[in-house]
Amino acid sequence: MILTILLPSILKIKDLETAEKHVQEYSKVSCTDAGIKSKMYDLGDACEKAGLKHQARGLFSKVYTSDSDFKDIKDRINALKKSSGGRREIPEAVMVADICESSKMMDLYGDGATYIIKNALEDIMFPIFKENKSSFTKSTGDGFLVCFSNSKSALDSAIQVLERVNTYNSNVVDGPQIHLRFAIHFGEVRVMPDEDRHGTNINIPFRVEGLKADGLVVVKDGILREDFTLIDRIFITEAFYNSVVKTGNYNIRYLGLFELRNITGMHKIYQVMTGYEK
């Protein structure tokens, strides 16, 4: 397989994000015969040496599931567990919510505008996140990173927040309104000992949140650039779409293809339509 040639060279030059993407693809291969197991073992070894310990553990675990007596696989897995310092990998829906045009609000309403908006937004968001059983919440300056154990809870939260924000804005007479951009992805994330989240699947929604019309590759069944919405929107990745599409009666449209900075390949992006987008 080409990955057995490509990946070691990627790891050697420390292009870790690209390597991680290829390891995820390689992990889908069926671990059947001795040759495949040996290649997976070697890739796991290369990943561990390059610092991709969570990916090394995934590859080693797949080999172990197929053959628990293969080489020193049990010892390698135990060593990685001990060196992880309490880190673990879990599947989560990862939501990024960003406040739109915060700099413009400060120009119009003064330096305290962002503070007013953020406090109002917390009062709206946090009860919704709690009700939908979020597993992690962190401020990102002009927004929030929020994780959920299932995709439906994440999407329902985003929709409910937009509904509440719309009500809030309708009562604002002379002051800054709240406008948001949501991006949601689903995948394995690294949970650190302090519960913070890391990894490529955390980076992806941050890239998706800021997508612009000029980055859209127009494709069949997608939208035109003039139909691209800018604020009060919910963008979701293909992985999230696949995890949530059958869980509720959501109005979802396919946008098209985008490149995501430092994330390999072209990515299908969808939008959940709520009626609040502009």
Q: Average pLDDT over the chain, rounded to whole?
A: 85
Per-residue pLDDT tens digits for 37-89? 888 888 888 777 766 777 777 788 778 777 878 889 888 887 876 666 666 78
Domains of the chain: 2-83 (1.25.40), 89-272 (3.30.70.1230)
Rg of the chain (C-alpha set): 21
Give me 155's structure tokens. Answer: 């999407």
> In the chain, pLDDT over 70 holds for what percent of residues?
82
pTM listed for this prediction: 0.71
Answer yes or no: is pLDDT of 140 > 90.
no
Rounded to an integer, the average pLDDT of 142-149 is 93
Rounded to an integer, the average pLDDT of 137-141 is 89
Listed residue (160, 164, 178, 169) closest to 105, CA to CA: 178
Exposure b/e, 136-162, CB count within 10 A at least 16 = b: beeeeeebbbbbbebbbbbbbbbbbbb
